[in-house]
Structure 1
Amino acid sequence: MSQTDQRKKLDITLSIDVYDRPSELAPEYASLLKAAEKITHQAYAPYSNFLVGAAILLDDGTVVTGSNQENAAYPSGICAERTAIYYTGAQYPNRTIKAIAVAAQRGDEVFLPAAPCGACRQAMLEYEEKQPHNIQLILQGQEEKVYVVSSIADLLPLKFGKKNLNSGE
């Protein structure tokens, strides 16, 4: 038999809601995106000059923010998304995360689209899996466009999560 005789195809699709401007979002999400944009100015990025901000909305309305923090020893730095989510986990361990907004800019340029890196996606997935609801991801796009993904798991279709480690579930 040839390889093609045994091969099956798996099609993976991702739906992303696209808004032309932040004002089209629900007010709490528009405000969350604004918080992510604002915290980019707190980023420490002397090497890349790539400023990223993340804002997390909790179920009680609390907003937690974080920015990327670089280091001369590059692997020692941390992304904005992980800064914010780890702080949330440490300070609000019993709260549910509703949404995470991410904004990025190069220096003082206009905001540009930047999706979370793989390590951040994996970290956010861990927090989504430990709560009963999906976490929406709101990404600042180019020319005011906004992208909304309904679940972090959607970004990792062949994800590695707690079910891979728990043989009893």
Structure 2
Amino acid sequence: MQEKIEMKVSLTVYPTADWSEEDRVLVGMAKEIMEKAHAPYSDFLVGAALLLENGEKLMANNQENVSFPVGVCAERAVLSYAMANFPMSKPLKIVISAKKRNGNKFATVTPCGLCRQTINEYENKFQAPIQVMMLTPEGNLLVADGIEQLLPFRFNDLNS
């Protein structure tokens, strides 16, 4: 007999007025680093700012390469740097901003599959969700309270 498995996902929209001061700083960092992205092929700029439990705030951007697909996404770049330099400090939240070069509007960008699985890896390592915050064209934050909301059927265990 067939069984249907359903999972409910939920994202929250935070208008600018509801942002914490910390959120404002992280959004500013993501926007700032986004403008410095190396994206000569797509002209699509992505920035990510990461808050660690120890208070460190880090940022990175996408790095394209003419040899597709060896470029690196902003989310994986900042998480890799964090885990290389602060391996015992839990990531708490990541803010993502994106837009076309010379564009005047932000694009709502969710992490790609590789980035989602990378976020999942660090949630597993620290046994805690990482809040994923994505800037929208309206200037709001679209927020997932953990990667399960963006990757409900994630790959978690080599033995299951």
TM-score exceeds 0.5: yes
Instruction: Give the number of the structure whose residues are more often helix, by fraction.
Output: 1
TM-score normalised by structure 2 residue count: 0.94
In structure 2, how many angstroms separate the alpha carbons of the residues matched to 1:34 and 1:125?
25
Aligned counterparts, 1:10-159, within 5 A: 10-21=5-16, 23-109=17-103, 110-159=105-154
What displacement does 1:145 show? 1.9
* 1:31-55 superposed Cα distances (whole Å, 9 cap, x missing partner): 1122111110110000000000011
Q: What is the CA distance between 1:20 and its match in structure 2?
A: 2.4
Unpaired runs of 5+ residues, structure 1, are 1-5
Aligned residues: 159
Look up the equivalent residue of 1:124 and give its one-letter code.
Answer: I
User: TM-score, normalized by length of structure 1?
Assistant: 0.89
* Structure with greater Cα Rg: 1
Q: State the percentage of identical aligned residues.
A: 38
Give 1:105's aligned amino acid.
Answer: K
* Runs of at least 5 residues in structure 2 that lack an aligned partner in the other structure: none
Q: Which amino acid in structure 2 is aligned with residue 52 of structure 1?
A: V
